[in-house]
């Protein structure tokens, strides 16, 4: 027993750094300007793949969402279609309430039956309030019941500072959201419904021989922008949620409470350009490395990332970074495949840029008592 305790004490490992890359870092200068100052109540720019916030101002301030609400209306309908509880080919009868809904319209007619797909595209592309109400009533019976769906899904997506009270986004009592929450919803829409997301990039919608243009002007001026939604009411101001894909990087921006159509467009362009110009996304894929292990029948085991990870860095910084494996203190056998063993640390000029968890990729059985004695003797002899 004394020998076992002695061996365990001697074989205890402290943090061990194993270099993966070691580059001669010359005088590399990275100057990242301060985030843009724009004339809007709040905004946020999010790296879609890593989830990192690149720039923001008052991202959690509650604001009226206006027609950004329709992002959630569409999300609920998409989810029910995916679950088999609704279909694009459903016949939707237009109620008088839907027909009378004020604001932007798809010009549906009371009493008529319209395919669900047509209403969805009218709501997404042209921002029809009447289409939004018709969809809500078809899915849940009443618009009020449909908002219960909306708020449940919002909570599930982590939209903690959002409350929906209708399907269209018309100003109503305490209906509110934040730039941060809208970025989460946009990310979920892109991730969860890739088959429907291209609709957000369509520039025109025609119904009843009436052609209406998408209000997101960036779809014409920036070919990398492929969504998502505009909104305006007197209470909300001018809102815009956009997403763009450039140079293997997707950014999502949310601008709330801007002063005009032109302002929300130019300000969104400004913060997107800032993100793409000064930052980049790097996907850290499969990394396999052998590290020493004590008290085991093996001398070393393979370790790596459980899943590939995306990180956001200053543009050009990654290729000059250093990577090292830091093992957990006290690491020794037995170890099972999948056990946490430490972190992959990415550094630049001595500063940690990212720390990614590493796991064992194979088992490391514990050595027998006599094997541990022998390993201890070898370690004392420096062998």
Q: Which residues are catalytic?
A: 67, 70, 127
DSSP 371-383: HHHHHHHHHHTT-
> CA 99 → CA 234, 290, 328, distances in Å?
22, 67, 64
**Rounded CA gap, 215 and 34, in Å?**
30
Strand partners, 227: 243
CA distance 343 to 365: 21
Count CB-CB contacts under 10 A for residue 210. 11
Nearest to 287 by CA among 354, 333, 352, 226: 354
Name 314's Cβ contacts closer than 8 Å, sequence gap at least 6. 30, 32, 278, 279, 280
Distance, CA of 219 to CA of 222 (rounded, Å): 6
Rounded Cα distance, 378 and 383, in Å: 5
CB 276 within 8 Å of CB 246:
yes
Q: Output the furthest CA–CA distance in the chain (Å, rounded).
A: 91
Q: Are 284 and 310 in contact (CB under 8 A)?
A: yes
């Amino acid at each position: 027993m004394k020998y076992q305790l002695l061996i365990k004490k001697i074989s205890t490992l402290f943090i061990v750094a194993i270099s993966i890359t070691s580059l001669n870092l010359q005088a590399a200068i990275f100057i990242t300007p301060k985030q843009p100052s724009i004339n809007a109540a709040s905004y946020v720019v999010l790296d879609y793949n890593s989830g990192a916030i690149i720039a923001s101002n008052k991202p959690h301030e509650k604001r009226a969402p206006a027609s950004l609400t329709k992002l959630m209306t569409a999300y609920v309908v998409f989810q029910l279609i995916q679950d088999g509880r609704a279909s694009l080919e459903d016949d939707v009868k237009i109620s008088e309430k839907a027909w009378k809904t004020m604001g932007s319209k798809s010009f549906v007619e009371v009493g008529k039956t319209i395919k669900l797909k047509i209403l969805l595209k009218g709501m997404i592309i042209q921002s029809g309030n009447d289409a939004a109400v018709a969809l809500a009533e078809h899915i849940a019976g009443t618009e009020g019941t449909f908002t219960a769906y909306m708020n449940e899904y919002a909570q599930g997506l982590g939209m903690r500072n959002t409350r929906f009270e209708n399907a269209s986004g018309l100003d109503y009592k305490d209906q509110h959201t934040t730039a941060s929450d809208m970025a989460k919803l946009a990310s979920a829409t892109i991730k969860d419904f890739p088959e429907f997301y291209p609709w957000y990039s369509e520039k025109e919608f025609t119904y009843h021989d009436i052609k209406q243009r998408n209000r997101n002007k960036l779809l014409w001026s920036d070919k990398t922008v492929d969504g998502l939604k505009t909104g305006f009411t007197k209470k909300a101001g001018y809102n815009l949620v956009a997403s763009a894909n450039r140079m293997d990087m997707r950014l999502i921006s949310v601008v709330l409470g801007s002063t005009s159509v032109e302002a929300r467009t130019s300000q969104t362009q400004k913060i997107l350009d800032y993100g793409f110009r000064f930052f980049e996304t790097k996907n850290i894929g499969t990394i396999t490395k052998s590290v020493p292990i004590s008290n085991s029948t093996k001398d070393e085991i393979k370790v790596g990332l459980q899943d590939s990870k995306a990180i956001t860095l200053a543009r050009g910084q990654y290729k000059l970074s250093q990577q090292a494996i830091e093992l957990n203190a006290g690491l020794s056998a037995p170890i099972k495949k999948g056990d946490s063993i430490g972190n992959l640390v990415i550094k630049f000029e001595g500063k940690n840029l990212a720390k990614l968890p590493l796991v064992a990729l194979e088992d490391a059985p514990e050595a027998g008592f006599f094997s541990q004695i022998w390993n201890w003797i070898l370690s004392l002899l420096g062998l």
